[in-house]
Amino acid sequence: MSLSATEDDSGPEIHIPADIDWHKLDKSKFFFLGAALFSGVSAALYPIVVLKTRQQVSSAQVSCFKMSFSIMKYEGFRGFYRGFGTSLMGTVPARALYMGALEVTKSSVGTATVSLGFSDTTATAIANAAAGLSSAMAAQLVWTPIDVVSQRLMVQGYNDINSSKNVNSNVNFCRYRNGLDALRKILHADGPKGLYRGFGISILTYAPSNAVWWASYSVAHKLIWSGIGCSMCKKDKSGGFRPDSKALVAVQGLSAAMASGVSALITMPLDTIKTRLQVMDREENGVRKPSNVLQTVRNLVQEGGLAACYRGLGPRWASMAISATTMITTYEFLKRLSTKTQAPLTT
């Protein structure tokens, strides 16, 4: 792939390694290495997810510092990893669905848009947006039940810590021994549909979030290379510029962070509603029942207006930026590791 460094076609070109299409990947290596690499990323970022979830179910704004201090004081370091085992179990199948749908869609839509006469930049943005949409929808088939169980475990014990006055009274504080116990109790109380609480809003959250993220990423990636790319590259024999590995990683990371900011701001209210639907109940005639979207939105507006929808924005933005930066660099590294070796030609 080569990008013009200026609007003028006569300007210098930046020669970026071509994207690796789905058919060029060793699928078994791609999924096996992907599961291992992304499990490590999930472990590193999980404490931030716990902070975000607890802020979202709080009835008042609680700072990240105060929340972290309370967890460490009353629950210890393990408090930051409540539900992690359950979450990790879902990482492998969910990531497999996500990466498979992402690559297949990106390859097929990219080919179709180019054949329709779109420019390379536009075709890439459309293909990435479509890939982000389809991959998120596929992954949610696994992630929603995992989210419901792991988030119940995340907020467990929250009412025992020093900031309990900020705990929303509708949070489901049923005691669970572990993920399997939570699964059994949820199925007993609500049936299979209890595991898919918030599935619709999850699709409405993650599908556009992924579409916005991948489209923003592709646009930011090209803009950065076009704007400052030449200063980060070495001149090659053809007169163009070729980036080294450090420059590639830096641009990928910066593009991912920028895309995360855009995506987090746009979809944060939906994520807050989704989280509350999955861990909170409503009381009707003395009986606790699952909340609905309208009641959840009404409660949020009563608690703090639009600002209440953005509780946990800091941790979510940080989590998305760090996760996306790590994910995209790991993902591109994974694809190059998983490229099929070309058999030598025989005469």
| pLDDT at residue number 8 | 42
Report the pLDDT averaged over residues 91-117. 85
Between 159 and 277, residue with greater pLDDT = 277
What are the tens digits of pLDDT across the range 255-300? 888 888 888 888 888 888 888 887 777 767 666 777 788 888 888 8
Between 185 and 62, residue with greater pLDDT = 185
Q: Are 162 and 73 in contact (CB under 8 A)?
A: yes
What are the tens digits of pLDDT across the range 161-180? 544 455 555 666 578 888 88
CA distance 80 to 73: 11
pTM, two decimal places: 0.65
Q: Are 280 and 54 in contact (CB under 8 A)?
A: no
